[in-house]
Amino acid sequence: MALESVIIAGGGMAGFATARELRSRGFTGQLTLIDPEGLPYDRPPLSKDYLLGTRTRDQILLAGEDWFRDRRIEVLAGRAAALKPDEGVVLLEDGRELAADRIVLATGAAARKLDVPGSDLETVLELRNRADADKLRDVLRPGVRLAIVGAGLIGAETASAALALGAEVTLVDPVDPPLVPAVGTTLARRLHRMHEERGIRVLTGIPAAITVQGQEHRLALADGAAVYADAVLVGIGVVPETGLAVSAGLDTDNGILVDEHQRTSHPKIYAVGDAARVRLPDGTLLRRAEHWEHARNTGITAGAALLGQELPNHGAPWFWSDRHGVHVEGVGSMAGEGRVVIREKEGLPAAAFRLDADGRLEGCAAIDGGFTVRAARRIIDRRIPVDPAQLADSAVDLRKLAR
Ligand SMILES: Cc1cc2nc3c(=O)[nH]c(=O)nc-3n(C[C@H](O)[C@H](O)[C@H](O)COP(=O)(O)OP(=O)(O)OC[C@H]3O[C@@H](n4cnc5c(N)ncnc54)[C@H](O)[C@@H]3O)c2cc1C
């Protein structure tokens, strides 16, 4: 039976990409996108240009109202509260009930809460959505003391933006250096060192409690040290939004479990983006990805799968991050066994390559090295054999090795 209607719950990059893909692949049926935040917008700028004030609310929209109207994609402001999977029904928080042939869960993830006394204080901030960014932006002014818990991607980006806005930033992380699984130890060290070089106070420690007296927050660390700040931001990762799936009885395990078609354990329901996690046919659970391109790609896959078309091959996963004026990119996986080769530029580690036991390139990360990462991606995807000595030699153009 031809597909006549699709409801997408969640209008982040993954939900948006699913809708866009369905239309660009010729789906003419009814298409509804539900999100409490209204028109889809892009999240990466929230810790970068939007926080800095160099991009506006309109400039971070993934598309304007006209775009949705022209494509007959109905954007409903609302929150999906429950599903009736067999009937293809989505119940909204406000009591409305919608039905479609297929439902796509694109509910993303929520900021992980810090599990210490005081972390639920209203003045303890997080950064996942536009309202969070607006709240943070309101407190960031020259001289304000900001303590950030977590120096991973979002913590580090926010520290960099806050510093640029004149804040006095203290960055606390239990691990030194953070980000090793994403970029490898050598680049992680260089990136983490940049914070102190730019004037951020960096502490290695485990938060134990947050108290507030008047306007002043006291972030106590387990070793007895304390950080005093006007505001505290917690950036310690995310948890997938699986609530709808759990209550509907779908299989979940740190994510809504899907196959390579983005199909959940119920035939009428698909899941995409940060909320979804792939379970292979043999039961192996893949690591859940939490990056922008992955969200977009899973939406593209879901669009193809819903229409019964051939699935695209997206190749090795890729992410980027920006801090202190440098651009970081990673492709494939830097985590795991194998040999790591470092390429230097002007005496500093600029790229890291991870090779598996057979000498195949598995992952690459680079600082201000977009060409390098693009070439590495090609090498990984095509399984092109590479010589570690050439990877390490900055005089060798990696694009030549990727041919
Ligand atoms: C501040 C920040 C900076 C980032 N920077 C980068 C970066 O530099 N590079 C990179 O690769 N990645 C980055 N990311 C990660 C990237 O943005 C995410 O991987 C991507 O947004 C995931 O898209 P998604 O659609 O799966 O989820 P989300 O973007 O989280 O969207 C989910 C949507 O679902 C909605 N929703 C939730 N529950 C319901 C419900 N019950 N009913 C209806 N709607 C619901 C939410 O309101 C939300 O709009 C960043 C993320 C953040 C927060």
The pTM assigned to this predicted structure is 0.96
The reply to whether 332 and 397 lie within a common domain is yes
**How confident is the model over 290-316, as pLDDT tens digits?**
999 999 999 999 999 999 999 999 999
- Ligand 1 pocket test, candidate residues 32, 274, 328, most atoms within 8 A of CB: 274
pLDDT at 402 over 80: yes
The reply to whether 136 and 218 lie within a common domain is yes
The reply to whether 51 and 35 lie within a common domain is yes
256 found inside a domain: yes
Other beta carbons within 10 Å of 39? 19
| 10: Cα separation from own chain's centroid | 15
Q: For residue 384, give its domain range.
A: 325-401
Pocket, ligand 1, Cβ cutoff 6 A: 9-15, 34-37, 43-44, 46-47, 79-80, 106-109, 127-128, 154, 241, 244, 273-275, 290-293, 295, 319-321
312 found inside a domain: no
pLDDT at position 110, please? 98
Which residue, of 257, 272, 306, is where some domain finishes?
A: 306
- Ligand 1 pocket test, candidate residues 8, 43, 153, 293, most atoms within 8 A of CB: 43
The reply to whether 298 and 262 lie within a common domain is yes
What distance in Å separates the CA atoms of residue 291 and residue 287, rounded to the nearest whole number? 12
Please give the share of the chain, as a percent, with pLDDT higher than 70. 100
Q: Tell me which residue of 345, 388, 351 sits closest to 370, measured CA to CA.
A: 351
The reply to whether 271 and 337 lie within a common domain is no
3-state secondary structure of 106: coil
Which residue, of 236, 258, 273, is where some domain finishes?
A: 236
311 found inside a domain: no
The reply to whether 88 and 156 lie within a common domain is no
Q: Which residues 6+ apart lie within 8 Å of 284 measured at CB?
A: none
What distance in Å separates the CA atoms of residue 298 and residue 283, rounded to the nearest whole number? 20
pLDDT at position 234, please? 98
Distances (CA, A) of 173 to 109, 204, 324, 377, 397: 21, 5, 18, 30, 36
pLDDT at position 35, please? 98
Other beta carbons within 10 Å of 380? 24
The reply to whether 85 and 167 lie within a common domain is no
Q: Tell me which residue of 85, 22, 29 sits closest to 302, measured CA to CA.
A: 22
119 found inside a domain: no
The reply to whether 214 and 245 lie within a common domain is no
What distance in Å separates the CA atoms of residue 220 and residue 222, rounded to the nearest whole number? 7
Residue nearest to atom 41 of ligand 1 (CA): 80
In the block, residue with structure tokens 């796509």: 104
**How confident is the model over 215-260, as pLDDT tens digits?**
899 999 999 999 999 999 999 999 999 999 999 999 999 999 999 9
Domain with residue 248: its CATH number is: 3.50.50.60
The reply to whether 243 and 139 lie within a common domain is no
Domain with residue 347: its CATH number is: 3.30.390.30
Ligand 1: atom nearest CA of 299 is 25
What distance in Å separates the CA atoms of residue 219 and residue 233, rounded to the nearest whole number? 11
pLDDT at position 373, please? 97
Q: Which two tokens stand for residue 325?
A: 């004026």
53 found inside a domain: yes
Query: Can you say whether the dihedral through the CA atoms of 380, 20, 319, 346 is positive or negative?
Result: positive
Q: Which two tokens stand for residue 345?
A: 């530029």
316 found inside a domain: no
The reply to whether 94 and 129 lie within a common domain is no
> How does residue 117 score in pLDDT terms, banded at 50, 70 and 90?
very high
145 found inside a domain: yes
What distance in Å separates the CA atoms of residue 96 and residue 126, rounded to the nearest whole number? 30
> How does residue 191 score in pLDDT terms, banded at 50, 70 and 90?
very high
H, E, C per residue of 298-363: HHHHHHHHHCCCCCCCCCCCEEEEEECCEEEEEEECCCCCCEEEEEEECCEEEEEEEECCCCCEEE
Burial status of residue 28 (CB atoms within 10 A of its CB: 0-12, 13-18, 19 or more) = exposed
270 Cα: distance to centroid of ligand 1 (angstroms): 17
pLDDT at 343 over 90: yes
Task: Provide the number of structural domains found in the chain.
Answer: 3
**How confident is the model over 43-78, as pLDDT tens digits?**
999 999 999 999 999 999 999 999 999 999 999 999
**Which residue spans within 235-315 are E strands per DSSP?**
238-240, 256-258, 269-271, 276-278
| 250: Cα separation from own chain's centroid | 23
The reply to whether 86 and 18 lie within a common domain is yes
pLDDT at 122 over 90: no
133 Cα: distance to centroid of ligand 1 (angstroms): 13
Which residue, of 205, 236, 267, is where some domain finishes?
A: 236
> How does residue 154 score in pLDDT terms, banded at 50, 70 and 90?
very high
10 Cα: distance to centroid of ligand 1 (angstroms): 9
The reply to whether 259 and 329 lie within a common domain is no
Residue nearest to atom 8 of ligand 1 (CA): 321
318 found inside a domain: no
pLDDT at 1 over 80: no
